[in-house]
Amino acid sequence: MKFMIETDQVKADFKYSEISISPNEVSGYRPFELFVSSLAGCSGTLLRTILSKKRISYQKLEMEVDSVRNPDEANRIEKLSFLAHVETESPFTPEQAAKIAELVIKNCGMIQSVIETINIKFEIQASSIKGTL
Third-level CATH fold of 31-132: GMP Synthetase; Chain A, domain 3 (3.30.300)
pTM strictly above 0.95: no
Higher pLDDT: 2 or 11? It is: 11
Half-sphere exposure of 48 (CA within 13 A, CB side): 11
Which range of 43-52, 54-63, 83-92 scores highest in mean pLDDT? It is 43-52
Tell me: the pLDDT tens digits for 9-41?
888 888 888 888 888 888 888 889 999 999 999
91 touches 126 (CB < 8 A)? yes
Which residues does 4 contact at the CB level (< 8 Å), separation at least 6?
Answer: 10, 11, 12
State how far the Cα of 24 lies from the Cα of 100, in Å rounded to an integer.
Answer: 37
How do the domains of the chain map onto residue ranges? 31-132
